[in-house]
Structures are given as C-alpha cells and as structure tokens.
Structure 1
Amino acid sequence: MSSSPEPRVSRREFDAIFAEVRTWGRWTPADRGAWNRVTPEHVRRAASLVRSGTAVALGLPWDTRGGPDNRRPALHHMTDLGDVEAPEPATYKDFLAVDYHGKAVSHLDALSHVAYGGRLYDGRPAREVIGAGGARFGSVAALGPLVTKGVLLDLPAVLGTDWLEPGRAVHARDVLAAERALGVTIDEGCAVLLRSGRFRRSRELGPWDSGAASAGFHVDALPLLAERGVALLGADGDSDLRPSPVEGVHSPVHALAVAAMGVPLLDNLDLESVSAACAEAGRHEFMIVVAPLNVPGGTGSPVDPVAVL
C-alpha cells in the first residue's frame, strides 16, 4: 500500500466523480437514500453472520471535557437528586445535551446534513427544505433503524502497524488490498467501517486536532464503494482524509457519500474493541445494528451502533 505524497484533485475532476457516483432519482422514499438497498434478505444474511453472539458497542463515551478534538463538549447535569421529600421510591434524573456534529461524539449523518453546490441528495435545494425548524427532507427520522452486514476495513491490522498516521490516504487500491488480506467482501447493502487506529493513537500519544489532520478515504475510493452498492460508511474519524486533497472542498467524502450517493455516514466510532474481537474470531464481517434517535427534522443523531459476531 503506497504512502507517496497525495496529488491534488481539481474541482473539475471532483465534479466528474460526483456525477459518476450520483444516484439521484433512484429510490422512493428518496430521503432514505442507500438504506433502500437493505431488504429483509440483507437482514437475514447479516443475522447468519452471528456465531459467537459477541456484541461490541462502537460508540464513544459521552465527552463533557473540552480539548483539541472536542471544541464543543457535551452537557450532563443532574436535575433530581432524590432529595425532595416525596413518596417512595426516590428518583434521580439527569439532563443531556450535545452539539454532536464534530469530532468527539459518535453520530450518524443523515442526508440533510450535507449539501454540495447548494443541493442535498436527490437534487433538493437545501435552502428550500431546511430552515430554523429543521429539515423537511433527508431528516434522520426518515431513516429508521438499519440491520445489515458490517465489514471492518482494519488498515493497521493489514499493514502491521498500531495506527495510520494523520493525513494517510486510503485509496481504492488499499480497499481492494484490505479485502484480500482480511478475507472480506464489500457488496450491496453492507456497511463499511474504516479503522485507522485514531483512538489508539490518541490514548497513547494524546489528542490532536483531527479536523486539521486525519487518515481517511481518498476520493478515488468512492467510485469503488459506489460500484459495490454500500448502504453505510463509517470510520473512527469522519471518513474524510484531512487535509482534503480536493481544491476548494473541505469534506469531499461527505459530499460524495451523502449528497451524491445517498449514503449516511457514521463518524467518530471507537473501533478498537471490535478490531480485537474480529482478530480473535478470525473474521472481519459481522452483523451491525444502527438505531438513530427518531428526531423529526434532525440532520443526524448521536448513536451507539452495535456489532454482533
């Protein structure tokens, strides 16, 4: 797998890729996008991958501390400490709030989260369907739950390293090499999870501004993933290579996956435990369950997906 310097991708080249992978007009309902690919047969196929019954959570802990990778810490405070005189039993309650789109919260990006050239997925003008009350197209509430086959592209395991350094691109050729090395197949309706080892690196070396530098997919990998018909893309980063290789586009994988392909994204997954579980099981395919919050008008949702081996 090559680590040569990344050539810049022009806006014209990027726009050609966008047109190549675009699936506008393909599905009804349109705001479920590529999740329309997942049929009951795909769910049964995913269930057949469950052998040991090991369930592994993929979400990060709720992070209330600020840092270079958490500019907007989550909120958590108690609203009832059981100290008000009342009939038994005593109750304890708390309040949670978060600006979850960012680098610190495991979350799902719905199809209303990303517009390119002013248009959301399916060509819907963003300003016409998103306002102060939320999204009237592409809301996370339109997605519902997803159960499908998950494929872990564990690049550090393939390369024999602890992690990929920030700024390391994962090209189409790397995806193909990882399939061969891990014995996996990316096919229609599956969820592809890219492990770069971000959180192992963070735990050993300390956090850094992953918005400025992170390993992720190069745009040349997206036509391959589009050809395979993936339904979901996720990573322990946000799937994007940073700095962006595309002139004038800061999150090109977001634009291609969400706005062109209708593929929701899972950002900031903790893939360390599932990496260990896959290594122990000797396989990197499993059933994945994703159940975003049912938020009408929401552009996404905090989420704690589960891999079941």
Structure 2
Amino acid sequence: MIHRHIVLTFLITAISFLLVGTISCESVEESNPFDDLRIRAEQGDKAAQQRSRPQPDSTTQLPERLVTHEQMLEWFEEQKNWGRWGPDDDRGTLNLITPEKTKAAVALVTEGISVRLYHFPDPVNLDEPMPDTSNMRVLNQHWIPGQDPEATEIRGAALDAISFATHDGGNSHIDALCHYPVKDEGYTERPQRIYGGRPMMYTGQGCMGGASIDKMGPGYVTRGVLIDMPLLKGVPYLEKSQALYVEDLEAWEEFSGITIGSGDAVFLRTGRWARREAEGPWNYGGETAGLHASILPWLKERDIAILGGDAVADAQPSGVAQHNRPIHDMLIPMWGTPTIDNGYYLEVAEVAARMQRWEFMVSWTMMQIPNGTATPFMGLATF
C-alpha cells in the first residue's frame, strides 16, 4: 500500500514541477503527454513491485550478528532523537551542521577541485523497464514542449522540459524525514507515525504532518567523508548482498586516517555503478551490498548528519525479519537522519585516491517541493 501511495504521489509531484519555459513563437496546442502514464501508474505492475521488495533472508546475517525485530524495537527506544531539537523539529540531525561545522568544512578546500556526487535518472521505457530504474513506473523524459521531436531546426529561444520520479532507482535523491514511518508494534495502526512521533498524515498531496522536504532547510555545507569499500578490499565492486559490519567501518577509518564525527555527511561506496557498467543493470533493491543492521549502535555514536549510499546503504536482503531496510527504518523516523539513495561516487573516489584524502567539503541544496517526500540530490565534493 505504501508503494502504491508513493507512486501516485510522485506522479503528481513530477507533473507539478516540470521545468517548462514559455516559447517565443506562436503557442501550439498539444495533448497532455501524461494521460497514458497516469493510467499505467495507477494500474501498476504488482508482480514487478513485489519482486522489487527485498525479502528478509537469514543467510545475509552471520549467526553471531543476528539482529531480530525485537532487537530493532529496543534500539528504537534507546537511540531515538525525538525531542532533542524540540517537539516540532523538522530537520533532525541536519541540525548538527552548525555554523562552526560549516566553517570547518570550508577550510578543507585547498585545491579548488569539485566533482559530482549524483547520478541523473536514465530514460525509462515503461514497455521495456530496466530492473533498477523503473521502480516507480513513471516515465523519465526530456522533451521540447510544443515542438515536433523530429524537427531538425527550431527557431527562437531554446527551451525544454523534463520529468522524472523523485525516488526513481537511478535518480540520486535525499529522503525526507516523512518518507519512512515508524516500524514498531504500532506500524499497522492508523495513523502511522513519523520522526518525532507525529502522525504521518500522508495524503494525495504529500506529507501533511511535517518533516517534508521543504521544511528541512534550504541546503547545507559540511564535511563529507567517503567510505570506499572496494578500494579497501582491493576489488572493483563488492559482491551482491555483501554485508558490511563495524569492523569494516573501523578498518576504513584506520586506512583513511579519518574518524567519522558529529555533523558529517557520510558517503558509502559499494561499487554499484561500476558493477552496473561491467555487468549491466540488476534489481539492486533486492540484492545489493550495504550496511548490516548490527552497525546501528556504532553509527549512532558517530552522530552523523546524513548518510549516502550508491544504492540504498542497506545490505539487501537485510536478513532482519519485518525490516526490509533496517538502516532506513532507524535513521529516518528514529534518528531524524536523512538518507541519500543512488549517489554516484566514482568520480570522488578517483580524486580521493589520487590525493590520498577521503574528506572534503560537501555542499547541496534542497529543492523546496511542497509536502515532498524527497528532493533530487545534486551534491558537490570540493577538495
């Protein structure tokens, strides 16, 4: 049901925020290109949606690292940040990016080299969907409104439009704090709760109960820390479903000489995009390397501001019953920590390895989508 609601909401969002300019020539009457898309999205592909949802599988957990639903519930109570920044807080751990933290991040810039941390969504053909970028059944497209797409010359100012699903599997995006409800014993009750314990109030107009993306600040500058696991392990990319544990993160801190700290933006590279280039797309939502749930107490102590993955940050399948994505389940509604999905870290990994330096200034803006559950992530790493 949540997936269906997300599809419908973000179809509306994509339509509402098309970046369309006015053309200088005489207006041309055109049909609405989204009529068929809306019908397809409403109908959906239930079988494909079900396949895209990772199912818990205990083989992804070592017996001595087994995390149960009951353990997650205990951690929810022990680790939640509700009320830490006031009862009506909408920014969560982004509050940790203080003016002092930002000034310290700016001081990291010594070379003036900037690289992107984002991936723009690939074109989507709904009749031949890709296994990793068609999860929302919304057409990603770029077109010239009011013009023949086969035209070889158009007079006047050059204008265009785009549309894409914010949570598309190929689009780097920041999840809002209303994106995931609390998955405790009251998960099946209505209304569901979000960060801070407030009612979710998720409607056809988006997140109406607070913690939507437009309430999370205009943008941020802080210290970015890259965790390059393929580099640490000497491989081009990690194995599918490879789980990362506390010792992996501590080994990276020792290797890089960097201790992850309060207010940091942490970017986990598993090699998702390198694997995709070498082997082709796959359903990473059900099978991808990432963090194991047992790292949660360790990561909570680091008090980070935001966590980015080149897939979804969670190891998939998670192995945790009732929690397909336990990292998301904890960070978003309990800590108030936004997550970045589908980040693109190949370029920053190359620069960091060349410079032997895995910390940098990171900057990004937050698109002010009213009641939005996410914003496209267009972050830059500057050395």
Q: Give the TM-score normalised by the residue count of structure 2.
A: 0.75
1:232 Cα offset (Å): 0.3
Deviation track 1:45-104 (CA, whole Å, cap 9, x = no partner) reads 100111111101111133113311112341222115599xxxxx8122222222221421
Aligned length: 301
Would the aligned equivalents of 1:82 and 1:91 in 2 still touch at CA under 8 Å?
A: no
The within-5 A match list for 1:1-309 is: 6-7=62-63, 8-28=66-86, 30-65=89-124, 66-71=129-134, 72=137, 73-81=139-147, 90-116=156-182, 117=187, 118-126=192-200, 129-136=201-208, 137-143=210-216, 144-309=218-383
Would the aligned equivalents of 1:53 and 1:308 in 2 still touch at CA under 8 Å?
A: yes
Amino acid at match of 2:62: E
Would the aligned equivalents of 2:102 and 2:222 in 1 still touch at CA under 8 Å?
A: yes
Give the match's secondary structure for 2:299. helix
Give the match's secondary structure for 1:260. helix
Structure 1, 257-266 or 131-140: larger mean CA deviation: 131-140
Amino acid at match of 1:284: W
Amino acid at match of 1:98: F
Deviation track 1:1-25 (CA, whole Å, cap 9, x = no partner) reads xx98534422101111222221101
Structure 1: how far apart are the matches of 2:74 and 2:246?
A: 17
Give the match's secondary structure for 1:180. helix
Q: Which has the larger radius of gyration?
A: 2
Amino acid at match of 1:180: E
Structure 1: how far apart are the matches of 2:61 and 2:176?
A: 32
Would the aligned equivalents of 2:67 and 2:294 in 1 still touch at CA under 8 Å?
A: no
Structure 1: how far apart are the matches of 2:328 and 2:77?
A: 14
Would the aligned equivalents of 1:191 and 1:230 in 2 still touch at CA under 8 Å?
A: yes
Structure 2: how far apart are the matches of 1:36 and 1:188?
A: 10
Q: Does the C-alpha gap of structure 1 residues 295 and 4 become closer, same or farther in structure 2, counting only changes over 3 Å?
A: closer
Structure 1: how far apart are the matches of 2:108 and 2:254?
A: 19
Would the aligned equivalents of 1:139 and 1:297 in 2 still touch at CA under 8 Å?
A: yes
- Other-structure match for 1:86: none
Structure 2: how far apart are the matches of 1:190 and 1:39?
A: 11
Select the structure that is richer in strand.
1
Deviation track 1:194-252 (CA, whole Å, cap 9, x = no partner) reads 00011001101111100110111111112212111100000101111100121011111
- Other-structure match for 2:28: none
Amino acid at match of 1:234: G
Structure 2: how far apart are the matches of 1:132 and 1:212?
A: 27
Supply the RMSD in Å over aligned alpha carbons: 2.0
Would the aligned equivalents of 1:82 and 1:92 in 2 still touch at CA under 8 Å?
A: no
Structure 1, 94-103 or 262-271: larger mean CA deviation: 94-103
Q: Does the C-alpha gap of structure 1 residues 159 and 4 become closer, same or farther in structure 2, counting only changes over 3 Å?
A: farther
Would the aligned equivalents of 2:195 and 2:333 in 1 still touch at CA under 8 Å?
A: yes
Structure 1, 222-231 or 254-263: larger mean CA deviation: 222-231
Give the match's secondary structure for 1:301. strand
Would the aligned equivalents of 1:145 and 1:290 in 2 still touch at CA under 8 Å?
A: yes
Percentage of pairs with the same residue:
34
Would the aligned equivalents of 1:60 and 1:105 in 2 still touch at CA under 8 Å?
A: yes
Structure 1: how far apart are the matches of 2:165 and 2:83?
A: 32
Deviation track 1:139-197 (CA, whole Å, cap 9, x = no partner) reads 11112201100000101111111111111111122111111111111001001110001
